Structure 1
């Protein structure tokens, strides 16, 4: 009887130890004190929080309609040995400052260049799309390797480069190349700068890149200057005596796509003190219309911006004879962001404009209200030749 009692007692002790061990094993990592939230005012797709030991970035808008938030822990190299985080607590853990990085969108490159860390970029998909003169030098010298396309990254080359992190760009979470790299212990971190709908919202994503290089103060300073420049330029536009009407877009096959009233482009035109014809619509992206519908509303528009990718009046006329019916065509008031290209054909606007919205706004004001910025040299928007 005593033996049975002792056996039951030992069994009970084992059960208690087992469950206690499980509780201890799954005990959450203690929240550190002195939490500091990075100031992010205009961007809505990410947050940054620092504690005593490391930085946490949460990306809530990796792509339009994303219902998944991604959380990343950035740990200083000197603290790596002393910090152990639960593997399932974060989508990626990255040591900082990063020494070798792959980015996947041209919009990422200006942030690296502005922060002075372009030398950390070791690979990029579709390098011909890159316009930055400094980045092109590094591409031409073999310091930035060609990785194919974002949808089909050459994982063999990427693995040879052994980047410490890949900054991903995606329209969903089904990139097979990313999964292959993750299985090889290369962290994938999503960047959703392109989902922002305001000029300053896109520009503020420079703060997303800063913690990877411990450059937070530099990023804050850079953005504050851009923000101040943008707001001053916006105030200047209010001095204009007139409010010219504006048409956007062009035909793709049989559909004319104009910028929606809640889009990035519409915000620029609003801040430039113009009368954008479709400003009252609620679309955040583009709106598909028939040629007849656009003619009805936009034939008399004073200015026409972004006529698809056409870069001359001859191209416009050859594409569709009806383009000649617009007053902006007849009066040579058509301006394009597709004229200025990099050395290998990449469009400067789609690379640099998201980070420098102040320069975009100055272009628009110099075009729409030339009396306000008579000495401004156009950066992105050029008249069709």
Structure 2
């Protein structure tokens, strides 16, 4: 072979190798792989969580990151939000395509709903909370102490003070998914590098589905083992209580809530509130409807049911029967009013407005179910004392 031919062949081989390498690096298969592993270092996650009751999230575990997908983050959209939860020591090396990266474990978090405190409390992680929006509505004694000492910063309800949040530099700002357009309110924070996380537990339609979002919090905090242990105990007790009502021969007729501006919003048949009533052995007039949230009814329609309902629960902010009569004197004709069978979920409520029903109640549907069974079928749980509920006197 001549020298010229040798040089030509060598150059061709080198160029061909470069093309092959370039093509391999940009092939769909290679891009898929780099989304999971871009470092020689690997991290194993010995404890994992999976959704069994919740329909709004999915978690998968990969080398060097956890992929957390929020399947229905907003009330009006089902577009999936993807978060790559990456160990702090690898944040400069891992890049997951199409996902917002969050360093874990989260150490400093700002919450915008008291339900987020319930999730933290179940994991013994209140110390992570460095900011609380609407702090006046907090029930937890531990968190209130943190707020009073300045360990947790109180942020006003309403429009977020973006400058203050930026100055606090949290690892995570947790919000509740409402309308998707509200997400634009956080654009400045997102563009400034603040991790805004959408917690959509409130869109779940079952009590255990809502409670299971503690596993999402656990994935953010690397507390999967504790979450599995505590949630399993809650789910087990809930299912045993629910099964105990299968044999009841009489189901009391129940109405709930109070009218507002001429309409009466009751719980839709596919809502978590209606699921509670069914599991507790109640006869609920709108159980067969398909609504997953509030169901708008006329005053007259619900009033007709109220005249014969055995028990009335969750009558707004009422703390006494006088409060109800002040709202509408016609309530005096209700059967439940005459017999004194009216119960509200405000037993654990602070003068400032904090109600533990909306806080720890989200992760303790077993206790809530026990309360309702105590009200509807006291013979099933004779030793149980009402925890979240109390009789309206």
TM-score by length of 1: 0.89
Contact kept in structure 2, 1:155 and 1:177, CA below 8 Å: no
Cα distance between partner residues in 2 of 1:242 and 1:140: 49
1:164 is matched with 171
Deviation by residue 1:238-287 (Cα, 9 ceiling, x = unmatched): 34342111111211011111111111111111111111121111111121
Contact kept in structure 2, 1:45 and 1:196, CA below 8 Å: yes
How many residue pairs get aligned? The number is 369
1:356 is matched with 364
Selected match of 1:66 from 77, 98, 122: 77
RMSD: 2.6
Shift of 1:340: 3.1
Deviation by residue 1:88-110 (Cα, 9 ceiling, x = unmatched): 521x2111111111121111111
1:154 is matched with 161
Structure 2 SS opposite 1:258: strand
2:6 is matched with none
Structure 1 SS opposite 2:296: strand
Cα distance between partner residues in 2 of 1:118 and 1:24: 44
Cα distance between partner residues in 2 of 1:288 and 1:370: 31
Selected match of 1:89 from 90, 98, 105: 98
2:50 is matched with 39
**Moved >6 Å (runs of 4+):** 17-23, 33-37
Cα distance between partner residues in 1 of 2:244 and 2:344: 23
Structure 1 SS opposite 2:264: strand
1:28 is matched with 31
Residue 324 of structure 1 pairs with residue 332 of structure 2: yes
1:277 is matched with 285
1:381 is matched with 389
Cα distance between partner residues in 1 of 2:352 and 2:20: 63
Contact kept in structure 2, 1:261 and 1:284, CA below 8 Å: yes
Shift of 1:342: 2.8
Q: Please say which of residues 284-293 and 222-231 is displaced more in the overlay.
A: 284-293
Structure 2 SS opposite 1:340: coil
Shift of 1:288: 1.5
2:4 is matched with none
Selected match of 1:52 from 52, 60, 63: 63
1:208 is matched with 216
Gaps of 5+ in 2: 1-13
1:268 is matched with 276
Structure 1 SS opposite 2:275: helix
Residues 89, 175 of structure 1: alpha-carbon distance in 2 compared, 3 angstrom cutoff = closer
Q: Please say which of residues 235-244 and 132-141 is displaced more in the overlay.
A: 235-244
Gaps of 5+ in 1: 1-12
2:301 is matched with 293
After the TM superposition, which residues 97-108 of structure 1 pair with which residues of structure 2 at under 5 Å, given as runs?
A: 97-108=105-116
